Structure 1
Amino acid sequence: MDEVEIVVAHSERATLRVGDVFLKVDADQARVDTEVEAMSLAPVPTPEVLWRRPPVLAIAALPGTTLGRLGGPSTGSPAAWAAAGAAIRRLHDAPPPPWPGRAGRSAAALAAELDEECGLLVANGVLPADLVARNRRVAEAALRPWTPAFTHGDLQIAHVFVDGGEVTGVIDWSEAGGGDALYDLATFTLGHQEHLADVIDGYGTDVDLDVIHAWWSLRSLLAVRWLVERGFDPFAPGCEVDVLRSLM
Protein backbone atom coordinates (compact mmCIF):
# COMPACT_ATOMS: atom_id res chain seq x y z
CA MET A 1 0.00 0.00 0.00
CA ASP A 2 1.30 3.46 -0.90
CA GLU A 3 2.21 5.75 1.97
CA VAL A 4 0.89 9.29 2.28
CA GLU A 5 3.66 11.86 1.88
CA ILE A 6 3.11 15.45 2.99
CA VAL A 7 4.75 17.52 0.27
CA VAL A 8 3.91 20.93 1.73
CA ALA A 9 1.42 22.11 4.32
CA HIS A 10 0.57 25.44 5.90
CA SER A 11 -2.53 27.38 6.92
CA GLU A 12 -3.54 28.24 3.33
CA ARG A 13 -3.15 24.93 1.53
CA ALA A 14 -1.62 21.46 1.64
CA THR A 15 -0.32 19.01 -0.95
CA LEU A 16 -0.15 15.26 -0.34
CA ARG A 17 1.32 12.50 -2.49
CA VAL A 18 -0.11 9.00 -2.63
CA GLY A 19 1.79 6.89 -5.13
CA ASP A 20 1.58 8.64 -8.51
CA VAL A 21 -1.22 10.97 -7.45
CA PHE A 22 -0.88 14.41 -5.87
CA LEU A 23 -3.81 15.70 -3.82
CA LYS A 24 -3.95 19.48 -3.44
CA VAL A 25 -6.24 20.73 -0.68
CA ASP A 26 -7.13 24.42 -0.95
CA ALA A 27 -10.08 26.17 0.66
CA ASP A 28 -9.79 29.04 -1.84
CA GLN A 29 -11.74 27.73 -4.82
CA ALA A 30 -10.89 30.76 -6.94
CA ARG A 31 -7.22 29.85 -6.63
CA VAL A 32 -7.95 26.28 -7.74
CA ASP A 33 -10.06 27.57 -10.64
CA THR A 34 -7.10 29.67 -11.76
CA GLU A 35 -4.77 26.69 -11.56
CA VAL A 36 -6.97 24.40 -13.65
CA GLU A 37 -7.70 27.09 -16.26
CA ALA A 38 -4.05 28.14 -16.54
CA MET A 39 -2.90 24.55 -17.06
CA SER A 40 -5.43 24.17 -19.88
CA LEU A 41 -4.08 27.29 -21.61
CA ALA A 42 -0.34 26.96 -21.04
CA PRO A 43 1.74 25.98 -24.12
CA VAL A 44 4.09 23.83 -22.00
CA PRO A 45 3.61 20.36 -20.48
CA THR A 46 1.45 20.35 -17.34
CA PRO A 47 0.14 17.58 -15.06
CA GLU A 48 -3.00 15.66 -16.01
CA VAL A 49 -6.00 16.63 -13.91
CA LEU A 50 -7.42 13.31 -12.66
CA TRP A 51 -10.43 14.62 -10.78
CA ARG A 52 -11.66 17.56 -8.76
CA ARG A 53 -13.91 17.43 -5.71
CA PRO A 54 -13.67 20.72 -3.82
CA PRO A 55 -11.62 21.43 -1.85
CA VAL A 56 -9.39 18.69 -3.37
CA LEU A 57 -7.70 18.69 -6.77
CA ALA A 58 -6.05 15.42 -7.87
CA ILE A 59 -3.28 15.55 -10.46
CA ALA A 60 -0.96 12.92 -11.89
CA ALA A 61 2.73 12.84 -11.09
CA LEU A 62 5.06 14.04 -13.83
CA PRO A 63 7.97 12.08 -15.29
CA GLY A 64 11.48 13.34 -14.70
CA THR A 65 12.96 15.23 -11.76
CA THR A 66 13.18 18.83 -10.65
CA LEU A 67 16.28 20.95 -11.17
CA GLY A 68 16.74 21.21 -7.42
CA ARG A 69 15.29 23.39 -4.69
CA LEU A 70 15.96 26.71 -3.04
CA GLY A 71 18.70 26.27 -0.47
CA GLY A 72 19.94 23.03 -2.02
CA PRO A 73 22.28 22.07 -4.85
CA SER A 74 21.10 22.05 -8.43
CA THR A 75 20.83 18.58 -9.92
CA GLY A 76 20.36 19.83 -13.46
CA SER A 77 22.90 20.20 -16.26
CA PRO A 78 23.42 23.50 -18.12
CA ALA A 79 21.42 21.95 -20.99
CA ALA A 80 18.51 21.26 -18.65
CA TRP A 81 18.54 24.84 -17.37
CA ALA A 82 18.62 26.10 -20.96
CA ALA A 83 15.68 23.83 -21.86
CA ALA A 84 13.77 25.34 -18.96
CA GLY A 85 14.59 28.80 -20.30
CA ALA A 86 13.22 27.82 -23.71
CA ALA A 87 10.00 26.49 -22.13
CA ILE A 88 9.58 29.71 -20.15
CA ARG A 89 9.97 31.69 -23.38
CA ARG A 90 7.20 29.62 -25.03
CA LEU A 91 4.95 30.43 -22.10
CA HIS A 92 5.75 34.15 -22.23
CA ASP A 93 5.16 34.30 -25.99
CA ALA A 94 1.63 32.88 -25.64
CA PRO A 95 -1.40 35.19 -25.32
CA PRO A 96 -1.76 36.06 -21.63
CA PRO A 97 -4.86 34.93 -19.75
CA PRO A 98 -7.57 37.58 -19.28
CA TRP A 99 -6.80 37.91 -15.56
CA PRO A 100 -3.77 39.37 -13.76
CA GLY A 101 -1.52 36.94 -11.92
CA ARG A 102 0.89 37.32 -9.04
CA ALA A 103 3.44 38.81 -11.44
CA GLY A 104 0.83 41.32 -12.62
CA ARG A 105 0.61 43.59 -9.58
CA SER A 106 1.00 47.27 -10.43
CA ALA A 107 4.20 49.15 -9.65
CA ALA A 108 2.29 51.43 -7.28
CA ALA A 109 0.75 48.52 -5.37
CA LEU A 110 4.10 46.74 -5.13
CA ALA A 111 5.88 49.86 -3.93
CA ALA A 112 3.32 50.38 -1.18
CA GLU A 113 3.48 46.71 -0.12
CA LEU A 114 7.26 46.75 -0.20
CA ASP A 115 7.56 49.92 1.87
CA GLU A 116 5.19 48.53 4.50
CA GLU A 117 7.01 45.19 4.62
CA CYS A 118 10.45 46.79 4.86
CA GLY A 119 9.21 48.86 7.79
CA LEU A 120 7.93 45.76 9.58
CA LEU A 121 11.13 43.79 8.95
CA VAL A 122 13.17 46.52 10.63
CA ALA A 123 10.69 47.43 13.39
CA ASN A 124 10.32 43.79 14.45
CA GLY A 125 14.04 43.09 14.31
CA VAL A 126 13.67 40.42 11.64
CA LEU A 127 16.45 41.81 9.43
CA PRO A 128 19.13 44.50 9.89
CA ALA A 129 18.12 47.98 8.70
CA ASP A 130 21.10 48.33 6.33
CA LEU A 131 20.30 44.99 4.63
CA VAL A 132 16.69 46.03 4.14
CA ALA A 133 17.55 49.53 2.92
CA ARG A 134 20.11 48.31 0.39
CA ASN A 135 17.76 45.72 -1.07
CA ARG A 136 14.87 48.19 -1.14
CA ARG A 137 17.02 50.37 -3.40
CA VAL A 138 17.92 47.39 -5.61
CA ALA A 139 14.21 46.45 -5.83
CA GLU A 140 13.34 49.85 -7.28
CA ALA A 141 14.37 48.71 -10.78
CA ALA A 142 11.47 46.22 -10.88
CA LEU A 143 8.92 49.01 -10.38
CA ARG A 144 8.67 50.06 -14.02
CA PRO A 145 6.19 49.63 -16.92
CA TRP A 146 6.05 46.18 -18.55
CA THR A 147 4.04 44.46 -21.27
CA PRO A 148 1.80 41.70 -19.85
CA ALA A 149 2.94 38.16 -20.68
CA PHE A 150 1.55 34.73 -19.79
CA THR A 151 3.32 34.25 -16.45
CA HIS A 152 3.38 31.31 -14.08
CA GLY A 153 3.70 33.57 -11.04
CA ASP A 154 5.47 31.07 -8.74
CA LEU A 155 8.07 29.51 -11.01
CA GLN A 156 10.35 28.01 -8.37
CA ILE A 157 12.83 25.41 -9.66
CA ALA A 158 10.97 22.78 -7.64
CA HIS A 159 7.97 23.39 -9.92
CA VAL A 160 9.77 22.49 -13.19
CA PHE A 161 10.47 18.85 -14.09
CA VAL A 162 13.06 17.76 -16.63
CA ASP A 163 14.33 14.54 -18.15
CA GLY A 164 17.78 15.01 -19.62
CA GLY A 165 17.54 18.12 -21.76
CA GLU A 166 13.74 18.14 -22.03
CA VAL A 167 11.13 19.82 -19.83
CA THR A 168 8.53 17.19 -18.94
CA GLY A 169 6.15 19.40 -17.01
CA VAL A 170 5.47 22.46 -14.86
CA ILE A 171 3.31 22.34 -11.73
CA ASP A 172 1.57 24.74 -9.31
CA TRP A 173 -0.23 27.27 -11.52
CA SER A 174 -2.44 28.92 -8.90
CA GLU A 175 -0.62 32.28 -9.22
CA ALA A 176 -0.65 32.32 -13.05
CA GLY A 177 -1.99 35.17 -15.17
CA GLY A 178 -0.89 38.22 -17.08
CA GLY A 179 2.26 39.73 -15.61
CA ASP A 180 5.89 40.73 -15.87
CA ALA A 181 7.91 38.06 -17.69
CA LEU A 182 11.09 38.96 -15.80
CA TYR A 183 9.38 38.08 -12.51
CA ASP A 184 9.19 34.46 -13.68
CA LEU A 185 12.84 34.40 -14.75
CA ALA A 186 13.93 35.91 -11.44
CA THR A 187 11.82 33.49 -9.40
CA PHE A 188 13.21 30.54 -11.34
CA THR A 189 16.84 31.53 -10.72
CA LEU A 190 16.42 32.78 -7.14
CA GLY A 191 19.18 31.24 -5.04
CA HIS A 192 20.75 29.69 -8.16
CA GLN A 193 22.22 32.80 -9.74
CA GLU A 194 25.03 30.73 -11.25
CA HIS A 195 22.54 29.26 -13.76
CA LEU A 196 21.03 32.56 -14.90
CA ALA A 197 23.24 32.63 -18.01
CA ASP A 198 22.09 29.11 -18.98
CA VAL A 199 18.44 30.07 -18.56
CA ILE A 200 18.86 33.24 -20.62
CA ASP A 201 20.67 31.26 -23.30
CA GLY A 202 17.65 29.00 -23.64
CA TYR A 203 15.24 31.93 -23.33
CA GLY A 204 16.82 33.34 -26.46
CA THR A 205 16.50 37.09 -26.00
CA ASP A 206 18.22 39.91 -24.15
CA VAL A 207 17.18 40.31 -20.52
CA ASP A 208 17.65 43.36 -18.29
CA LEU A 209 19.82 41.95 -15.50
CA ASP A 210 19.17 44.92 -13.24
CA VAL A 211 15.47 44.03 -13.26
CA ILE A 212 16.23 40.37 -12.53
CA HIS A 213 18.35 41.45 -9.53
CA ALA A 214 15.56 43.80 -8.47
CA TRP A 215 13.01 40.98 -8.47
CA TRP A 216 15.40 38.81 -6.43
CA SER A 217 15.49 41.55 -3.80
CA LEU A 218 11.79 42.38 -3.96
CA ARG A 219 10.54 38.80 -3.83
CA SER A 220 12.90 37.95 -0.95
CA LEU A 221 11.96 41.02 1.10
CA LEU A 222 8.26 40.24 0.73
CA ALA A 223 8.72 36.55 1.54
CA VAL A 224 10.80 36.53 4.73
CA ARG A 225 8.08 37.24 7.33
CA TRP A 226 5.48 35.12 5.47
CA LEU A 227 7.84 32.15 5.54
CA VAL A 228 8.82 32.56 9.18
CA GLU A 229 5.17 32.81 10.27
CA ARG A 230 4.36 29.52 8.49
CA GLY A 231 7.23 27.50 9.85
CA PHE A 232 9.67 27.80 6.94
CA ASP A 233 13.27 29.02 7.32
CA PRO A 234 14.35 31.84 4.98
CA PHE A 235 17.60 32.09 6.99
CA ALA A 236 18.75 28.62 5.87
CA PRO A 237 21.89 28.59 3.68
CA GLY A 238 21.13 29.56 0.10
CA CYS A 239 17.61 30.81 0.86
CA GLU A 240 15.99 34.27 0.82
CA VAL A 241 18.16 35.99 3.43
CA ASP A 242 21.36 34.76 1.75
CA VAL A 243 19.99 36.11 -1.54
CA LEU A 244 19.48 39.52 0.10
CA ARG A 245 23.02 39.44 1.50
CA SER A 246 24.45 38.54 -1.92
CA LEU A 247 22.96 41.72 -3.37
CA MET A 248 24.62 44.03 -0.82
Structure 2
Amino acid sequence: MTSLPQRWARAERLDAARTVDALHARTGVRLTLDGPCPGGQVGAAYVRWPDHHRSVLKWRPHSRVADMEAGPLAVTEVLRLGGYPAPATELTAQVGHAVVLVQELLPGTKIERLDHRGLDQALALNRSQADRLADHPDIPAVKLFLREDGPGYCLHEPLRRHDRRSAALEHWIADVGAEYPAHLAGQDAVHMDFHPGNILATGGSVTGVVDWDGAARGDRRFDLITLRFGIHAMNTDPSVTQRLDAVLDSLPEDVLRPIWAHMSLRMVDWAIRHFTPADVEQWLDLAGQRVK
Protein backbone atom coordinates (compact mmCIF):
# COMPACT_ATOMS: atom_id res chain seq x y z
CA MET A 1 0.00 0.00 0.00
CA THR A 2 1.34 3.41 -0.94
CA SER A 3 1.41 6.18 1.62
CA LEU A 4 0.37 9.72 0.80
CA PRO A 5 3.91 11.13 1.10
CA GLN A 6 5.16 8.36 -1.19
CA ARG A 7 2.46 9.24 -3.71
CA TRP A 8 3.59 12.83 -3.85
CA ALA A 9 7.21 11.70 -4.02
CA ARG A 10 6.60 9.65 -7.14
CA ALA A 11 5.56 12.81 -8.91
CA GLU A 12 8.35 14.94 -7.44
CA ARG A 13 11.31 12.90 -6.25
CA LEU A 14 13.45 13.95 -3.32
CA ASP A 15 16.88 15.18 -4.35
CA ALA A 16 18.43 14.41 -0.96
CA ALA A 17 21.80 16.05 -1.61
CA ARG A 18 20.26 19.32 -2.74
CA THR A 19 17.79 19.22 0.13
CA VAL A 20 20.58 18.79 2.68
CA ASP A 21 22.37 21.79 1.16
CA ALA A 22 19.18 23.86 1.14
CA LEU A 23 18.49 22.92 4.74
CA HIS A 24 21.99 24.05 5.71
CA ALA A 25 21.49 27.38 3.93
CA ARG A 26 18.14 27.83 5.64
CA THR A 27 18.99 26.74 9.18
CA GLY A 28 22.77 26.66 9.48
CA VAL A 29 22.63 22.97 10.42
CA ARG A 30 24.98 20.78 8.39
CA LEU A 31 23.74 17.22 7.99
CA THR A 32 25.58 14.47 6.16
CA LEU A 33 23.65 12.32 3.72
CA ASP A 34 23.79 8.65 4.72
CA GLY A 35 21.79 6.97 1.95
CA PRO A 36 18.15 6.48 0.92
CA CYS A 37 15.62 4.82 3.18
CA PRO A 38 14.69 1.31 2.03
CA GLY A 39 11.36 0.21 0.69
CA GLY A 40 11.00 2.61 -2.21
CA GLN A 41 10.51 5.68 -0.05
CA VAL A 42 11.96 8.17 -2.51
CA GLY A 43 10.77 10.96 -0.21
CA ALA A 44 13.03 9.95 2.68
CA ALA A 45 16.75 9.49 3.34
CA TYR A 46 19.06 8.78 6.25
CA VAL A 47 21.22 11.64 7.50
CA ARG A 48 23.81 12.13 10.23
CA TRP A 49 24.12 15.09 12.56
CA PRO A 50 27.46 16.69 13.52
CA ASP A 51 27.41 14.52 16.68
CA HIS A 52 27.07 11.47 14.34
CA HIS A 53 23.62 10.30 15.43
CA ARG A 54 21.39 9.20 12.56
CA SER A 55 17.99 10.60 11.69
CA VAL A 56 15.50 10.47 8.82
CA LEU A 57 15.24 13.35 6.37
CA LYS A 58 11.76 13.74 4.88
CA TRP A 59 10.49 16.04 2.18
CA ARG A 60 6.83 16.96 1.79
CA PRO A 61 6.22 19.04 -1.35
CA HIS A 62 3.50 21.68 -1.66
CA SER A 63 3.20 22.04 2.10
CA ARG A 64 3.63 24.74 4.74
CA VAL A 65 5.42 24.45 8.05
CA ALA A 66 2.53 26.18 9.84
CA ASP A 67 0.07 23.56 8.57
CA MET A 68 2.35 20.69 9.52
CA GLU A 69 2.90 22.10 13.00
CA ALA A 70 -0.82 22.68 13.55
CA GLY A 71 -1.75 19.22 12.31
CA PRO A 72 0.46 16.13 11.93
CA LEU A 73 3.33 17.32 14.12
CA ALA A 74 0.92 18.36 16.87
CA VAL A 75 -0.73 14.92 16.76
CA THR A 76 2.55 13.05 17.12
CA GLU A 77 3.76 15.31 19.92
CA VAL A 78 0.60 14.67 21.94
CA LEU A 79 0.99 10.93 21.39
CA ARG A 80 4.68 10.94 22.27
CA LEU A 81 4.00 12.71 25.55
CA GLY A 82 1.76 9.79 26.43
CA GLY A 83 4.40 7.19 25.58
CA TYR A 84 3.24 6.28 22.08
CA PRO A 85 6.19 5.10 19.90
CA ALA A 86 6.05 7.87 17.31
CA PRO A 87 9.24 9.61 16.13
CA ALA A 88 10.30 12.96 17.54
CA THR A 89 10.71 15.79 15.05
CA GLU A 90 14.20 17.21 15.46
CA LEU A 91 14.17 19.92 12.80
CA THR A 92 11.54 21.54 10.57
CA ALA A 93 12.12 24.07 7.80
CA GLN A 94 10.36 25.57 4.80
CA VAL A 95 12.48 25.06 1.70
CA GLY A 96 10.70 26.59 -1.26
CA HIS A 97 7.28 25.01 -1.67
CA ALA A 98 8.24 22.02 0.50
CA VAL A 99 8.48 21.26 4.19
CA VAL A 100 11.68 19.47 5.15
CA LEU A 101 11.56 17.40 8.33
CA VAL A 102 14.35 15.69 10.20
CA GLN A 103 12.90 13.05 12.48
CA GLU A 104 14.14 10.58 15.03
CA LEU A 105 15.27 7.24 13.61
CA LEU A 106 13.31 4.65 15.54
CA PRO A 107 14.62 1.10 16.03
CA GLY A 108 13.26 -1.82 14.08
CA THR A 109 12.29 -2.61 10.51
CA LYS A 110 8.93 -2.46 8.80
CA ILE A 111 6.62 -5.43 9.18
CA GLU A 112 6.66 -7.52 6.00
CA ARG A 113 3.90 -9.91 7.03
CA LEU A 114 1.36 -9.12 9.75
CA ASP A 115 0.86 -12.11 12.06
CA HIS A 116 -1.44 -12.56 15.05
CA ARG A 117 1.08 -11.11 17.48
CA GLY A 118 1.55 -8.08 15.25
CA LEU A 119 -2.20 -7.64 14.94
CA ASP A 120 -2.59 -7.77 18.72
CA GLN A 121 -0.02 -5.00 19.07
CA ALA A 122 -1.56 -2.93 16.27
CA LEU A 123 -4.97 -3.16 17.93
CA ALA A 124 -3.48 -2.13 21.27
CA LEU A 125 -1.75 0.86 19.70
CA ASN A 126 -4.99 1.85 18.04
CA ARG A 127 -6.88 1.68 21.35
CA SER A 128 -4.26 3.97 22.88
CA GLN A 129 -5.11 6.65 20.29
CA ALA A 130 -8.59 7.11 21.77
CA ASP A 131 -9.49 10.59 23.09
CA ARG A 132 -5.88 11.76 22.86
CA LEU A 133 -6.88 15.01 21.13
CA ALA A 134 -9.77 15.92 23.41
CA ASP A 135 -7.83 18.97 24.60
CA HIS A 136 -6.75 19.93 21.09
CA PRO A 137 -9.89 20.91 19.15
CA ASP A 138 -7.88 23.14 16.80
CA ILE A 139 -6.10 20.18 15.19
CA PRO A 140 -7.80 19.70 11.80
CA ALA A 141 -10.21 16.81 11.42
CA VAL A 142 -9.91 14.03 8.85
CA LYS A 143 -11.53 15.03 5.55
CA LEU A 144 -13.10 12.15 3.64
CA PHE A 145 -13.39 13.60 0.11
CA LEU A 146 -16.51 11.59 -0.67
CA ARG A 147 -18.16 14.52 -2.44
CA GLU A 148 -15.12 16.20 -3.96
CA ASP A 149 -11.57 15.43 -5.04
CA GLY A 150 -8.71 15.34 -2.59
CA PRO A 151 -5.38 17.16 -3.15
CA GLY A 152 -3.79 14.80 -5.66
CA TYR A 153 -5.53 11.67 -4.39
CA CYS A 154 -9.12 10.48 -3.85
CA LEU A 155 -10.04 11.69 -7.35
CA HIS A 156 -13.54 10.74 -8.51
CA GLU A 157 -13.29 11.14 -12.28
CA PRO A 158 -10.87 8.22 -12.85
CA LEU A 159 -13.44 5.85 -11.31
CA ARG A 160 -16.26 7.31 -13.39
CA ARG A 161 -14.32 6.80 -16.61
CA HIS A 162 -12.42 3.52 -16.03
CA ASP A 163 -15.19 0.95 -16.48
CA ARG A 164 -18.70 0.14 -15.36
CA ARG A 165 -17.55 -1.54 -12.18
CA SER A 166 -15.46 1.40 -10.98
CA ALA A 167 -18.19 3.85 -12.06
CA ALA A 168 -20.72 1.94 -9.95
CA LEU A 169 -18.34 2.12 -6.99
CA GLU A 170 -17.93 5.89 -7.42
CA HIS A 171 -21.71 6.27 -7.54
CA TRP A 172 -21.96 4.40 -4.23
CA ILE A 173 -19.18 6.53 -2.73
CA ALA A 174 -21.00 9.71 -3.75
CA ASP A 175 -24.24 8.39 -2.23
CA VAL A 176 -22.41 7.67 1.04
CA GLY A 177 -20.93 11.16 0.91
CA ALA A 178 -24.40 12.64 0.66
CA GLU A 179 -25.39 10.87 3.90
CA TYR A 180 -22.44 11.79 6.10
CA PRO A 181 -20.46 14.91 7.05
CA ALA A 182 -17.43 15.85 4.99
CA HIS A 183 -15.17 15.56 8.06
CA LEU A 184 -14.78 12.63 10.41
CA ALA A 185 -16.14 13.21 13.89
CA GLY A 186 -14.15 12.34 17.00
CA GLN A 187 -11.29 13.43 19.19
CA ASP A 188 -8.94 10.51 18.66
CA ALA A 189 -5.52 10.67 17.05
CA VAL A 190 -5.70 9.27 13.51
CA HIS A 191 -2.57 8.21 11.65
CA MET A 192 -4.31 8.09 8.24
CA ASP A 193 -1.84 5.58 6.74
CA PHE A 194 -1.68 2.84 9.37
CA HIS A 195 -0.44 -0.23 7.51
CA PRO A 196 2.37 -2.76 8.15
CA GLY A 197 4.88 -0.84 6.07
CA ASN A 198 4.62 2.03 8.56
CA ILE A 199 4.87 -0.18 11.64
CA LEU A 200 8.38 -1.06 12.84
CA ALA A 201 9.27 -4.13 14.86
CA THR A 202 12.22 -6.04 16.25
CA GLY A 203 11.93 -9.72 17.09
CA GLY A 204 8.16 -9.58 16.70
CA SER A 205 7.75 -6.65 19.10
CA VAL A 206 6.52 -3.34 17.69
CA THR A 207 9.06 -0.57 18.24
CA GLY A 208 7.47 2.34 16.44
CA VAL A 209 4.93 3.76 14.03
CA VAL A 210 6.25 6.15 11.38
CA ASP A 211 5.04 8.40 8.54
CA TRP A 212 2.50 10.55 10.38
CA ASP A 213 2.53 13.18 7.63
CA GLY A 214 -1.25 13.01 7.16
CA ALA A 215 -2.20 12.65 10.84
CA ALA A 216 -5.36 14.39 11.98
CA ARG A 217 -8.17 14.39 14.53
CA GLY A 218 -11.12 12.03 14.21
CA ASP A 219 -12.08 8.44 14.93
CA ARG A 220 -9.16 6.07 15.62
CA ARG A 221 -11.05 3.25 13.91
CA PHE A 222 -10.20 4.91 10.61
CA ASP A 223 -6.75 3.36 11.05
CA LEU A 224 -8.18 -0.14 11.46
CA ILE A 225 -9.95 0.14 8.12
CA THR A 226 -6.74 1.47 6.58
CA LEU A 227 -4.94 -1.54 8.06
CA ARG A 228 -7.45 -3.86 6.39
CA PHE A 229 -6.70 -2.29 3.02
CA GLY A 230 -3.00 -2.37 3.84
CA ILE A 231 -2.87 -6.14 4.33
CA HIS A 232 -5.00 -6.89 1.27
CA ALA A 233 -2.06 -6.93 -1.14
CA MET A 234 0.31 -8.66 1.30
CA ASN A 235 0.99 -12.30 2.01
CA THR A 236 -1.18 -12.27 5.13
CA ASP A 237 -2.37 -15.39 6.93
CA PRO A 238 -6.13 -15.69 6.17
CA SER A 239 -6.84 -16.17 9.87
CA VAL A 240 -5.27 -12.76 10.61
CA THR A 241 -7.43 -11.16 7.92
CA GLN A 242 -10.50 -12.90 9.33
CA ARG A 243 -9.75 -11.55 12.80
CA LEU A 244 -9.44 -8.01 11.51
CA ASP A 245 -12.61 -8.42 9.46
CA ALA A 246 -14.41 -9.49 12.61
CA VAL A 247 -13.25 -6.29 14.31
CA LEU A 248 -14.59 -4.25 11.40
CA ASP A 249 -17.87 -6.19 11.47
CA SER A 250 -18.39 -4.91 15.02
CA LEU A 251 -18.06 -1.24 14.05
CA PRO A 252 -21.17 0.94 13.88
CA GLU A 253 -22.46 1.51 10.37
CA ASP A 254 -21.99 5.27 10.65
CA VAL A 255 -18.29 4.70 11.35
CA LEU A 256 -17.53 1.85 8.95
CA ARG A 257 -19.46 3.00 5.91
CA PRO A 258 -17.97 6.47 5.25
CA ILE A 259 -14.43 5.37 6.08
CA TRP A 260 -14.72 2.29 3.87
CA ALA A 261 -15.96 4.56 1.08
CA HIS A 262 -12.96 6.85 1.56
CA MET A 263 -10.43 4.02 1.45
CA SER A 264 -12.15 2.46 -1.57
CA LEU A 265 -11.93 5.75 -3.44
CA ARG A 266 -8.35 6.33 -2.33
CA MET A 267 -6.99 2.96 -3.42
CA VAL A 268 -9.03 2.38 -6.61
CA ASP A 269 -8.33 5.89 -7.90
CA TRP A 270 -4.60 5.50 -7.30
CA ALA A 271 -4.51 2.05 -8.91
CA ILE A 272 -6.33 3.32 -12.01
CA ARG A 273 -3.86 6.16 -12.49
CA HIS A 274 -0.64 4.43 -11.54
CA PHE A 275 -0.87 0.64 -11.64
CA THR A 276 -2.09 -2.22 -13.82
CA PRO A 277 -5.65 -3.28 -14.65
CA ALA A 278 -5.07 -6.35 -12.47
CA ASP A 279 -4.27 -4.07 -9.53
CA VAL A 280 -7.44 -2.12 -10.15
CA GLU A 281 -9.47 -5.32 -10.07
CA GLN A 282 -7.81 -6.34 -6.83
CA TRP A 283 -8.85 -3.12 -5.09
CA LEU A 284 -12.32 -3.24 -6.63
CA ASP A 285 -12.71 -6.75 -5.23
CA LEU A 286 -11.89 -5.55 -1.72
CA ALA A 287 -13.99 -2.39 -1.98
CA GLY A 288 -16.97 -4.42 -3.15
CA GLN A 289 -16.96 -6.60 -0.05
CA ARG A 290 -18.71 -3.87 1.95
CA VAL A 291 -20.67 -1.95 -0.67
CA LYS A 292 -24.28 -1.93 0.39
Does the TM-score normalized on the shorter chain lie above 0.5?
yes
Task: Report the counterpart of residue 11 of structure 2 in structure 1.
Answer: none
Kindly indicate whether structure 1 or structure 2 has the higher relative contact order, using CA contacts under 8 Å at least 6 residues apart: 1
Count of aligned positions: 226
TM-superposition CA deviations, 1:1-29 (whole Å, max 9, x none): 975216534xxxx3223474210123522
* Matching residue's letter, 1:131: S
Task: Report the counterpart of residue 191 of structure 2 in structure 1.
Answer: 152
Alignment of 1:38-117 (within 5 A): 38-42=75-79, 43=82, 44-55=84-95, 56-68=100-112, 75-96=113-134, 97-101=136-140, 103=142, 105=143, 110-113=146-149, 117=155
TM-superposition CA deviations, 1:7-66 (whole Å, max 9, x none): 534xxxx32234742101235223432332222101411113333343421112221222
1:173 positional shift = 1.9
Task: Report the counterpart of residue 8 of structure 1 in structure 2.
Answer: 41
* Matching residue's letter, 1:46: A
Task: Report the counterpart of residue 264 of structure 2 in structure 1.
Answer: 220
Task: Report the counterpart of residue 72 of structure 1 in structure 2.
Answer: none
CA contact (8 A) 2:75 2:133 kept: no
Report % sequence identity: 20
* Matching residue's letter, 2:168: A
CA pair 152-60 structure 1, distance change in 2 beyond 3 A: same
- Structure 2 unmatched ranges of 5 or more: 1-31, 49-53, 233-237
TM-superposition CA deviations, 1:133-174 (whole Å, max 9, x none): 146427856854643422122223322222345331111222
CA pair 213-192 structure 1, distance change in 2 beyond 3 A: farther
1:183 positional shift = 1.9
Q: 1:130 aligns with which of 142, 150, 165?
A: 165
Based on CA coordinates, which of the two structures has the bigger radius of gyration?
2
CA pair 36-246 structure 1, distance change in 2 beyond 3 A: closer
- Structure 1 unmatched ranges of 5 or more: 69-74
CA pair 157-76 structure 1, distance change in 2 beyond 3 A: closer
Q: 2:60 aligns with which of 9, 14, 26?
A: 26
Aligned-residue CA RMSD in angstroms?
3.8
TM-score, with normalisation over the residues of structure 2?
0.61
CA contact (8 A) 1:48 1:59 kept: yes
- Report the more deviating stretch, 38-47 or 80-89: 38-47
CA pair 81-129 structure 1, distance change in 2 beyond 3 A: same
CA contact (8 A) 1:153 1:183 kept: yes
CA pair 149-167 structure 1, distance change in 2 beyond 3 A: same
Secondary structure (helix, strand or coil) at the match of 1:47 reads coil
Q: Distance in 1 between matches of 2:172 and 2:33?
A: 50
CA pair 47-236 structure 1, distance change in 2 beyond 3 A: farther
TM-score, with normalisation over the residues of structure 1?
0.70
Alignment of 1:175-190 (within 5 A): 175-190=214-229
